[in-house]
Amino acid sequence: MDIKKFKFPELTAADIVFPIFKTDKELLEEAKKRGFYGGYTPYNDLFNKLFFEGGSLNFKKDLDKEFKTKATLYLKAFMRSFTPKHEEKEAISAMLLSELVDIEEE
């Protein structure tokens, strides 16, 4: 699956402020295939840091602007949604982060 071609839902202001997204089965299956479900990747770590502590993102250069905007809005809303299981939220979010950001080597 090419995440950059995924049709993210159109978000309203209410979706962003009061998100109630369910887990998208297609995204979850892809996240599992890529090893983000129950995984110990730098992107799983980044998700947990953002989820519990907050932070900022170092976006990859040359990202398609529309993909970057839609995926980032979806990511922010999905991370705050109370509906999905935390493990599913982590897996999908880590996968999206892997497409969106560069993790600096320490």
Distance (Å, rounded) from C-alpha 28 to C-alpha 9?
15
Question: Closest by alpha carbon to 76, among 58, 53, 99, 50?
Answer: 50
Asked if residues 104 and 58 have their Cβ atoms less than 8 Å apart, the reply is: yes
User: What residue type is 73 in one-letter code?
Assistant: L
The DSSP letter of residue 37 is T
Spell out the domain ranges in the chain. Answer: 20-100
Distance (Å, rounded) from C-alpha 96 to C-alpha 76?
11
Tokens 């990202």 belong to residue: 63
CB atoms within 10 A of CB 74: 23
pLDDT digits (tens, 9 = 90+) for 69-93: 999 999 999 998 988 999 999 999 9
Q: Please give the model's pTM, rounded to 2 decimal places.
A: 0.90
Of all residues in the chain, the percent with pLDDT exceeding 70 is: 97
